[in-house]
Amino acid sequence: DKINKGITMNAWFKLAALFIASAFAFEVLPLHYGMWTYYNTQPMQIAGFPAWWAFTNVHAVIALAVAVALLHRHLGPIRSWVIVPLYPGLIFGTHMFAAFPAYAVVSSTSKHALALLGTVLAIVLSCSLIWLYATIVCTDRDASRLVHKP
């Protein structure tokens, strides 16, 4: 609804920051009680929670919201039902796209420097994509700055 009704860049980034903080808050309790764990070398942990997960999870949620809003706008209300079977692929694909650098190193090495590089790249990629989506959907974006002028 915020995308369709119009959201400013300022509100967009505040919402993204709130989501990222919420992801950290959500993970602490289950980790404390051993409901799940994170394997191999996971740098930049807060209370046992690897920071990169918060950024990639939030990116996936935001990317899904943008994709669904744009698809719904394009398809219209009568054909928008076709979006439902796309949900699993969209969420998996968007999460995998941003998380790939971290997935690749966490699952293949125990070297802290490489794990740090991969997880930082995942955070940077997630934040960059969240910014990119803002340039597409936010109401106060200045499209002229995105066009190359000779």
Walk along the chain (150 residues) in steps of 10 and give the mean pLDDT of each run: 84 94 90 87 88 95 93 89 91 94 90 94 97 90 49
Q: What are the start-end ranges of the H helices in the chain?
A: 2-5, 9-32, 51-79, 87-106, 112-137
Q: What is the pLDDT of residue 22?
A: 94
pLDDT at position 142, please?
Answer: 55
pLDDT at 84: 92
pTM for the full predicted model: 0.84
Q: At CB < 8 A and 24+ separation, what contacts does 85-89 make?
A: none
Position 144 scores a pLDDT of: 44
Neighbour count for residue 51 (Cβ, 10 Å): 19
Question: Which pLDDT does position 1 carry in this prediction?
Answer: 79
